[in-house]
Structure 1
């Protein structure tokens, strides 16, 4: 379905973003890879030489970065058919312990800006696909990871609304909400990880495949893994006060 199209992927230097790049290249989709680490992007681009691959180095915590990325694609004459907003980060720190505005800039501000910028020409063409990466955390206010969970809740809510809003414009918007995934992010986000949570982690290639499959099928939201689907269903059954306490106990030391 995506053969001959061009996909722009943020956070493409590792993890889910890297796996999406590999899987799209395997079906003949051209790529624009965006991340901070130029060497990793160049190395990945060299591996995926069967398709056209451009590399854009950008730090999406910079409020001007989204506009700069869009401008570079326009200057290069590259039509972006598929936008994958995968870049994001988080950490297990109480709000009073560390400045968290940079997380909001990456997880929310840049995602919203890129979505709006690239959706405009998609709407003019009457065709486009946008895949935003949220998290199972979007369903759970998490003491100790409050900003991260809130940022992913924004991504989920935005995606659900835009899936309906942009149907008439020919744009498919899908939100991928993975649970624990074996990536560099999982090691950096938390000081320590419960062994049971570690066992439940999914491989990044399986998560990437689930997201791309859902995008191709036009689904609004996909949660890979039965255990994580069950977790999102649990929210509807328990009082929110209980959900918050459980999330804090399982995911974060917040005192």
Structure 2
């Protein structure tokens, strides 16, 4: 049975709708019977939700299968466009990619996870569109750790309680003690490193984006470990990130 609610406190019909959306995404499209079986709800209920979503452009029907529609993209574009760091940071990310030749990312956070809201691919055979708009665990992501370091301890504990500290590689931090030790170091030095903690063979460095004393997100550079060594991260790349961050924060102040 597909999970319907995390807390059991939501409105049941809404929880069914959200579970339906998530299942359509996981299956990359499905028919009414398959969805009803996966969610353990009546086919009439599934069909009713799908009919309403189809009328509003949130699903499309191809043959016997339903797929998520472009209305989600429309709303996502609107949400991203409302973010000050997105409007203020795109040019800086573009310039970072040209200067470093590596992936450059603008990252923000919500509900205890980090999201890539804008990025450039650098000299890598990676389709960044497969990463853009996706969620990442914060404890093994350089930008995520830069953000965590500037959140209250109570909020950090809540994030760990909800999302845990899953091991992505053998280098991932998996204990609260180790996490808080590293976050203290990040506060002192002003940047966070990811040394193959999320993906083997990939290094990254991230620095926080602050505005009026509040953490807004992070800027990061990522690339293959053989090119993006710790020495390079803490040298020229860090200098370039700091200059870009100053530019973004200035743009935020005068936007």
What TM-score bracket applies, with the shorter chain setting the length? under 0.3
TM-score (norm 2): 0.27
Q: Greater CA radius of gyration, 1 or 2?
A: 2
TM-score (norm 1): 0.27
Ranked by relative contact order (alpha carbons within 8 Å, sequence separation 6 or more), the top structure is: 1
Instruction: Write 1 or 2 for the structure with the bigger share of strand.
Output: 2
